Chain A
Amino acid sequence: MTGTALAPAPVKSPPRKASRLTDPVVGVWLAALAVTLLGWLVVTLDGGTFLTQANITGILQNSVALGLVAVGQSAVILTGSLDLSVAYLIGLGTLVAAETMQSGSVVTAVLAVLALSAAVGLANGLVVTGLKVNAFIATLGTAFILRGWIEHHYTGPAGKVPASFQRLGYDRIGPLPVSLFLLAAVALALWLITRRTRLGHHMYATGGDEHAARLSGVRTRRTVIAAHVLCSLCVGAAALFLAARLGAGAPWAGTEARYDLESIAAVVLGGTVLAGGRGGVAGTLGGVLVLAVLDSVFNQLSVDPFFKNVVRGVVIIAAVALYARRGARRSA
């Protein structure tokens, strides 16, 4: 993805081409590289081996779920919206997948999960645009609704995923997990949509300045709705992957890993501006990689999981502070 990361910035900001090194996308991939090297150094000094094949596979595997969610999240954030319902949608998605697979075919299950996701995304988009409810509250409300539904109907893991589908979670080609190709495909699709299609340009325009976009003839409502549907579809893919990985529907798969806030953190780490209009999928993947590598380093050093959260919080704040400084210098 580094190649695509270097692709020209959107047409409307030509000065960025001139300063590729200060492009946040390049920055975050450099940061990912730096974190990897640093982690390798620290783990080696600690007496372990970091760059083993098993470990690299593990890092990549761990990035897949968060990566899928974060890629979707970047689509909504680019458009100037936000999605806090992703964590519960993942839980419900794994349940629907596992239960449908238990009684029916894998294809029906995949279609059912994607249909559910699209419906939730559509509902989010309609509430945000139609009822003009702030995205933060609208998607938080959706999250509450999904949570109630899950808690009312399920008490624990349900359904069963057949071995054939579990291969999505466990098989690998050489050192590369199969699921990485799922992430790559989804990310590539999202990248193409955001950078190469009219919808994508409309998303950047709407996120940059909704009023100006509307006055220029962009159907901003449709654009926001489309972004929410895209995001939820990515979340659906993440749910399918997690169902394959866990072998059953897990109601709290999404909330335990805090995919809602983690995905937003990854998107912002990747240089996408929370207010929308700037950033992209390529940077997000870098942000996900940074978080995954950090996680792996901590596991190797067997750091206390609670202390891990402390460091993660510091890293997120520090990284974003660095961007902010650089942005300030550039504009000055």
Chain B
Amino acid sequence: MTVATPVHGKRVGVTFGPGTPVYVLLVVLLAALALTDPGFYDPDRFLAFVKRAAPLVLLAAGQYLVIVSGEFDLSVGAIVTAGVVVAAELYGSYPGAHWLLMTLALLLAGAVVGLVNGLISTGLRVPSFITTLGMMLILEGAVFYWTGGSPQGVLPEEFRALGRGTAFGWLPWAVLACAAAAVLAVWLMRRDFGRTLIATGDSERTAALSGVRVHRVRVLAFVLSGVAAALAAVLVGGFSGVSAQAGRGMEFEAITAVVLGGVALGGGRGSVLAAMAGAFSLQALFTLLNLQGVSGALESTVQGVIVIAAVGIGAADFARLRRRRTQSAARSPRTHSSEGSTP
């Protein structure tokens, strides 16, 4: 992933497709991190960085599936908040619940939310922007109504292990979850599901006429996004504990990450790995800004500028620029030859 050297620029472009700029951006950011903080690549600290990035990477992978099919999922931030708060409340009522059972329950709940999002967006033809916006209001409202505004309760240690514990003593579970999600997502995108998903996002009508069950594919994308968000909730809950602000703004971060990865809003283009790389870039950017000592407040300003610039550079029509250059290059010899032929 980190071999995007300019020497092989063309071949890399072919291999990675429209996501190439994000890999360059990621390499630049990681290099800048190494320069700012020589200890950054100590295995422990690097793994800690990946662990922090894991929830956003999961959200980006889920969001990618929805966006590439031509829809939006604004409810993922609310799912994260709701997941953390609900887990804490449930542990308040059933202190002895097994962590695996609780995690599976959360994933199931995420799937149900995604299913509802998908069914409303496809079956009732409500634009998904509105469906998931409404779902966000509903989830946040319901969770706080249930908890009376201030979530209570503590998550037991074994539940939090997934977010902050390590396997074999060195590999954080979050990194494993992240890698598993990446493998699963790439596998899914190479199978029929992925191809029909991209076809649906590219042109719904063409896909439908070619026999794609457009609605079913989209609903499945929403369900997977909901599950990814629920898993992110488990990680966030384990990493930073119970908070009413757990998932605030994460939907926008996830969408930004996906778009940084060169995935077109509106669907039909982009790769899931690039979207996850976008999430890593965003997290690297946050870390870098922290290390550089940019004051907490101005951080979002810098973030805004960089996001616009990165997407702007990614959107620049390099093909057209190159064509123009080759045209002017082609034109000059032609004029030469015509001059040569006239006499």
Interface residues of A (CB under 8 A from B): 127, 131-134, 136-138, 140-149, 151-152, 261, 264-265, 268, 274, 304, 306-314, 316-317, 320-321, 324-325, 327-328
Contacts and interface: CB of A to CB of B under 8 A. Distances in A.
B321 interface: no
B300 interface: yes
Contacts of A136: 255, 259, 265
Contacts of A151: 296-298, 300
25 contacts: A132-B312, A134-B315, A137-B307, A140-B255, A140-B256, A140-B304, A143-B304, A144-B307, A147-B300, A148-B303, A265-B130, A265-B134, A268-B130, A274-B130, A306-B140, A306-B149, A307-B141, A313-B134, A313-B135, A317-B130, A317-B135, A320-B127, A321-B124, A321-B126, A324-B124
A304 B143 CA distance: 12
Given A131-B315, A134-B265, A324-B126, 4 more contacts: A268-B127, A310-B142, A316-B137, A321-B120
A321 B130 CA distance: 10
A140 B305 CA distance: 10
A316 B311 contact: no
Given A127-B308, A132-B316, A134-B265, A317 B126 contact: yes
B173 to A, nearest CB: 31
B137 A127 contact: no
Contacts, number: 146
B304 A142 contact: yes
B131 interface: yes
A141 B134 contact: no
B299 interface: yes
A30 B304 CA distance: 41
List the 6 closest A-B pairs by CB distance, nearest first.
A148-B301, A309-B141, A144-B304, A313-B137, A131-B312, A151-B297
B246 interface: no
Contacts of B138: 309-310, 313-314
Contact of A127 (B130, B135, B312, B317): B312
A127 B310 CA distance: 12
A332 to B, nearest CB: 12
A148 B312 contact: no
B125 interface: yes
A314 B130 contact: no
A136 B129 CA distance: 11
A311 B264 CA distance: 33
B136 interface: yes
B145 interface: yes
Nearest to A274: B127
Given A131-B315, A137-B311, A140-B252, A314 B134 contact: yes
B97 interface: no
A144 B303 contact: yes
A133 B256 CA distance: 12
Contacts of A327: 125
B187 interface: no
B304 A306 contact: no
B129 A264 contact: yes
Nearest to B141: A309
Nearest to B142: A310
Contacts of A321: 120, 124-126
A324 B138 CA distance: 21
B133 A261 contact: yes
Contacts of B311: 131, 133-134, 137-138, 141
A191 to B, nearest CB: 24
Contacts of B304: 140-148
A151 B294 CA distance: 13
B28 interface: no
Contacts of B144: 306
B302 interface: yes
Contacts of A132: 312, 315-317
Interface in B141-164: 141-145, 149
Q: Which of B74, B137, B138, B315 has the most CB of A within 10 A?
A: B137
